[in-house]
Amino acid sequence: MKIFTVANSKGGSGKTTTAFNLAHELVRLGKKVFMVDFDPQASLTNSFKIELPQSQIYIEDLVSKAGQGKLHIANAIVEPKENLFLIPATGALGNLESELKGPAGLVRLRETLKGLQGLGMDVVIIDPPGSSDVFMSMSLLAAHEVIIPARPTDTDISTLSEFVPFIEEHKALNTNLQIRGIILNQVQSSSKNGQFYLEKMKNLGLGDLVFPCSIRSAIDAANSVAYGQSSSEHKPKAPVSKDYQEFAKEVAKWL
């Protein structure tokens, strides 16, 4: 069971949209996929457009000091679609920030995910917030691999030169952590901007990390989430759906 975090300290780089579509595509490839919403904005949870019962257990319940060791992750799992599982979050996760800051708190997501052993999941995908905060650190300590969605813009690319060393710092406490790759997201297909920024990344020494495929900028990618659907479910023939399919095939090579 491989654990990915789809992370970037730059807000709005496409983490949630990429994670949501990647998960759906991996299910289409026959995988059992487990998603963790680890952002107090709860965008991933909202993307599924599901109604949850009053009794629902959320990720904040599992990683809180009160819940740790007492609540089991198996009791918090929802299955919005066949073979696609989710631990949802609410804004209340944000209330735990100071409690989670210390060394014992920072490993609580990792400890929580150990409860998935034996449930037959092939891959876990964590969706952290877009900042270098405690939730981001916890996702980096829980993961085996980082997938970094980045837009081909000056600000996103320059943030990478800070975010990559930030990831590396977490190797002290998570020796297995690897950067699987940078996936260029919202690439303008009509222009050469993907190629232009690829060159910039090469100059920053990040060229080897860039996935050979990319995700184009497309209204279908944004709109499908409004229907609780992946791009492929909403618009199977859209070019951006093919981008997500190709990307998932690349990721599946590493499972």
Q: Which residues bind Mg ion (CB under 5 A)?
A: 15-16, 43
Residue 185 in contact with ligand ATP, rule: CB under 6 A? yes
DSSP state of 205: T
Binder of ligand ATP out of 16, 159, 214, 241 (CB under 6 A): 16
Residue 251 CB-density burial (10 A; 0-12 exposed, 13-18 middle, 19+ buried)? buried
Residue 57 in contact with ligand ATP, rule: CB under 6 A? no
Binder of ligand ATP out of 93, 142, 218, 248 (CB under 6 A): 218
Closer to ligand ATP by CB, 126 or 240: give it: 240
Residues 6+ apart with CB under 8 A from 212: 250
Distance CA 255, CA 251 (A): 7
Work out the angle at residue 242's Cα, subtended by the Cα atoms of residues 237 and 243, and round it to the nearest 5 degrees.
145
Residue 215 in contact with ligand ATP, rule: CB under 6 A? yes
b/e map of 6-21 (b: 16 or more CB within 10 Å)? bbbbbeebbbbbbbbb
Between the two ends of the chain, the Cα-to-Cα distance in Å is 8
Least distance (Å) from Mg ion to the CB of residue 42?
Answer: 9
Residue 235 in contact with ligand ATP, rule: CB under 6 A? no
Least distance (Å) from ligand ATP to the CB of residue 74?
Answer: 27
Phi-psi region of 117 (alpha: psi -120 to 50; beta: other; left: phi over 0): beta
- Contact criterion met (CB below 8 Å) for 244 and 25: yes
Binder of ligand ATP out of 52, 78, 173, 222 (CB under 6 A): 222
Which window, 36-44, 57-65, 73-81, 95-103, contacts ligand ATP (CB under 6 A)? 36-44
Which window, 12-20, 48-56, 76-84, 110-118, contacts ligand ATP (CB under 6 A)? 12-20
Binder of ligand ATP out of 5, 15, 36, 180 (CB under 6 A): 15
Binding residues for ligand ATP (CB under 6 A):
11-17, 39, 41, 43, 129-130, 185-186, 215, 217-218, 221-222, 240
